Amino acid sequence: MPLRLLLVRHGLSSFNKDRRIQGRDDLSNLSDEGHEQARALGRSLQEVSFQAIYSSPLQRAAATTSSLLEAHAGQTPDAVFDDGLLEVDLEPWSGQTITELMEGSAETYSIWKHRPMELELQRRDGSTYKPLPELMEQARGFISNLLKRHPIDGNDTVLVVAHNAILRCLMLVLLGEPDNGFRRLRVDNTSLSIFNLRPGDNGPQVQIECLNSTTHLQPLPEKGKNARLILVRHGETDWNKAGRFQGQIDIPLNENGRRQAAAARDFLKEIPIDRAWSSTLSRPTETAQIILEAHPDVSLTQIDGLVEIGHGLWEGKLESEIKDGWSELLDTWKRAPETVQMPEGETIQDVWARSVRSWGEIAAQLKADETVLVVAHDAVNKTILCDLLGLTPADIWAVKQGNGGVTVVDIAADPGQPAVVTCLNLTSHFGSVIDRTAAGAL
């Protein structure tokens, strides 16, 4: 079992409501709505036991921790209030509204929004500093200390309650600090993100199980002014359940897979969907068709570029069978997938090139007010999401895609900014905040 980290942002605060900069100052408190958000999350986590709890000492985070644990109602350890979870230090801006900041410090605020690592501010004592590099160093220290307290193979589940910017920095540290990663992520009030850490050859092997889930409040985080893409992995097949490598063999959904697709349909039924795309294989096509039963006026377009990775001679085989014939290559696939040429099949770079190209072609044609559905496969979705997160083909195991899991990507309003992975691998429509979908082969 892995070390499981549950990362939670504090609930709606008084400054959030007024659209004021909070930063590290403890001037803001948790609103009544924020307390209820925390209690809703606590109720949704009742099946989860915590071996440790860490919270920022700032009152909006501390109060969130208290309300969450009150609603959780299980036996829990005492929360540890850790300065390593303090929010970013924006001392000169603290207390100002966004409007005031944009009017009085437009240039520096623009740097924060577009090139946050370059932002330099001046403290009241006259010293200058760079808030985000300082926060990244703080995040590195917190993760280092956490791993000393909680071994990766120790089966601990650790709850961490903190703030928007520090949580993004913690995620970036866990993911190896991808380029421009801070603006690729979104962290909403009382959102839940789950990271699993397992032993690896070169340090922890990190997997995002889910990112920025707010399903205890509403199905999806609020959409902005630009286009939104909803990316779904197909429902379960018999080969997923058995752990067979299916690749491009056209295996249909099983009954559980159809139930998963129906659950995704019900989960998304109130979400406007304007257009839809899927892989040409039957399992994503049928998943998309079932989801679109709640959107009968939406047509479905199939794209070859979204077809699953070609496993070549591995297709149709169980992992044990592959191990008999290609033991070393299978081990390398698990450790360093970017180096593997599938026997008579594809490389992950091949899949990356066509899937990211197809995704880009879809995104490029969208209007700002559109929300569209894209249904594809495990490896295809992983390559798309690694590209969006600033990761590489070596990182595909860092992204989990459960059967029927829902991911949301929002196109940035500024064409010079990366798209935002708004939430990733939501599977709570199957009855649990923990992803319990099949763990079979691709």
For residue 284, pLDDT beyond 70: yes
Query: Model confidence over 6-42: pLDDT tens digits?
Result: 999 999 999 999 999 999 999 999 999 999 999 999 9
Residues β-bridged to residue 194? 6, 210
Query: To which H or E segment does residue 239 belong?
Result: helix 238-242
pLDDT for 442 = 64
281 or 202, which is more confident: 281
Predicted confidence at residue 149, as pLDDT, reads 96
Give the residue extent of every domain in the chain.
3-213, 228-430
Per the model's pLDDT, the better-predicted residue between 348 and 125 turns out to be 348
User: Which residues, listed in sequence order, are joined to residue 199 by a DSSP beta bridge?
Assistant: none
The neighbour count for residue 143, using CB atoms within 10 Å, is: 18
Report the pLDDT averaged over residues 366-380: 97
Tell me which fold the domain 3-213 belongs to: Rossmann fold (3.40.50)
Element (H, E) at 438: none
SS3 call for 244: strand
Say what the pLDDT of residue 349 is. Answer: 98
- Give the per-residue pLDDT at 440: 64
Residue 325 has pLDDT above 90, yes or no: yes
Q: What is the pLDDT of residue 441?
A: 60
Which residue has tokens 């691998």? Answer: 425
- Residue 349 tokens, joined: 């770079």
Angle at 17 between CA 14 and CA 21, to 5 degrees: 75
Domain 228-430 sits in CATH 3.60.70.12: no
Whose CA is closest to 402, among 421, 374, 381, 388? 381
Say what the pLDDT of residue 201 is: 81
**Once rounded to an integer, what is the mean pLDDT over residues 89-96?**
95
Q: How far is CA 82 from CA 11, 68, 93, 135, in A?
A: 18, 18, 24, 14
Average pLDDT of the segment spanning 120-142: 96
Res. 1: pLDDT tops 80? no
Q: 149-174: per-residue pLDDT in tens?
A: 999 988 999 999 999 999 999 999 99
SS3 359: helix
> Do the beta carbons of residue 85 and residue 163 sit within 8 Å?
yes
**pLDDT > 70: percent of the chain:** 99
**Residue 32 burial (CB count, 10 A):** 9
Q: Are 231 and 408 in contact (CB under 8 A)?
A: yes
Residue 50 has pLDDT above 90, yes or no: yes
- What is the average per-residue pLDDT within 402-407? 98
Instruction: Name the band, by pLDDT with cuts 50, 70 and 90, for residue 355.
Output: very high
pLDDT at 418 over 90: yes
Find the mean pLDDT for residues 98-126. Answer: 93
Chain-wide mean pLDDT for the chain? Answer: 96
Residue 414: how many CB atoms within 10 A of its CB?
Answer: 12
Q: Which of 320, 251, 326, 253 is nearest to 290 (CA)?
A: 253
> Residues 404, 236: contact at Cβ < 8 Å?
yes
Nearest by Cα to 261 from 226, 224, 286:
286
Give the 3-state secondary structure of residue 13.
Answer: strand
Count H helices and E strands in the chain, helices first: 13, 14
Where do the DSSP E strands lie in 156-227?
157-162, 192-198, 205-213
Evaluate if residue 339 carries a pLDDT over 80.
yes
Q: Phi then psi for 374, rounded to 5 degrees?
A: -130, 125
Cα(190)–Cα(217) distance, integer angstroms: 9
Kindly report whether the global pTM for this prediction surpasses the value 0.95.
yes
Positive or negative torsion for Cα 341, 342, 345, 347? negative
Please give the pLDDT value at position 177.
97
Sheet-wide strand order for 157-162 = 79-81, 52-55, 157-162, 3-9, 192-198, 205-213, 420-426, 406-410, 228-233, 371-376, 275-279, 300-303
